[in-house]
Amino acid sequence: MSKNISFFIGHRGTLIDHDENSLDAFEAALKFGANYIEIDVRKTKDNELVIFHDSKVDRITHSKGLLENYTYSEIARMRLKLTNSHIPTLNEVLKTFRNKIKFMVELKGENIREDVIRTINNHNLLEDCIISGRNLLDLEKVKRNYHESYVCYNITKAKSLKLKDFVKQGKERRLHFIPDFISLHSKKITQEFIEVCHTNNILVLSWNFIGYNNPIAVIKGLVEIGIDGILFDNHKNIKFTKQWLEKINQVS
């Protein structure tokens, strides 16, 4: 029986050798075989949508404080610590990478959903995006209002339906809302969880491999139990995983 995954996602592009969520990071993920890039979207003080993971700018820029307290013109002058790259906007990323790769768009902060969807629609890219977040109500509204959209519930630190309750309701086939995807921290993924998701027609994605001595071994183990996609922290591991899958499927 062949083993495979369909979603090779560059987590913030990559977390290795490049500034995360930078154009260079996204290019690296694309070069090494990603078919999606995961991008985190936040809103500036003057409502510009920018690509940035943390609520504060301290960790990866030379500035300090909450991103939401800066205007876009101030954000545009900031430089990322590793390679001196700038912080891109959502518009810039969609324009640069459309027709090259698809997008997993993580909603960060409050009251951002409609602005993000409007921007994606302006580029006619809604069908090329997975809208991801921890607020299940937000995702329900996206799916209800935009039937062609794909949504992913980031359940690890979810704000409403928690992991234990999801598994219980999923087993009993009484989930109120069925997202297209669900993402969970790699340490929490079990075969039971994957089976519950698949029974409810939900595809399973796994993230956070940065702390492992041998992340490829962990990824291989998840493939063996039926994972549908991986958010790769290291863009180089996308290529290694694809080579391994090709090899084992030739043998089988």
pLDDT of residue 3: 84
What string of DSSP letters covers 79-119?
Answer: -BTTT-----BHHHHHHHHTTT-EEEEEE-SSS-HHHHHHH
Instruction: Tell me what pLDDT residue 157 has.
Output: 86
Structural domains present in the chain: 7-251 (3.20.20.190)
- Residue 252: the pLDDT is 55
* Burial class of 2 by CB neighbour count within 10 A (0 to 12, 13 to 18, 19+): exposed
For residue 56 the two structure tokens come to 């504060």
Residues of the chain falling short of pLDDT 50: none
Residue 75's pLDDT is 99
Handedness of CA 85, 30, 41, 117 (dihedral sign): positive
Predicted TM-score (pTM) of the model is 0.96
CA torsion angle for 88, 89, 95, 96 (degrees, to 10)?
10
Q: Which pLDDT belongs to residue 160?
A: 86
CA distance 223 to 219: 6
Q: Is-contact 51 21, C-beta < 8 A?
A: yes
Q: Which residues of 94-105 are buried (b: 16+ CB within 10 A; e: fewer)?
A: beebeeebbbbb
> What dihedral angle (degrees, nearest 10) is formed by the CA atoms of 111, 131, 54, 122?
-70
Structure tokens at 206: 């796994």
User: What's residue 1's pLDDT?
Assistant: 56
pLDDT on residue 142: 97
Type of residue numbered 139: L
**Which residues make Cβ contacts (< 8 Å) with residue 165, sequence separation at least 6?**
none
Whether residue 9 contacts residue 242, with contact meaning beta carbons closer than 8 Å, is answered with no
Antiparallel, parallel or unpaired: β 129-133 and 150-154: parallel
Q: Are 110 and 103 in contact (CB under 8 A)?
A: no
**Which sign does the torsion angle of CA 10, 133, 95, 150 carry?**
positive
Which structure tokens are listed for 73?
């013109």
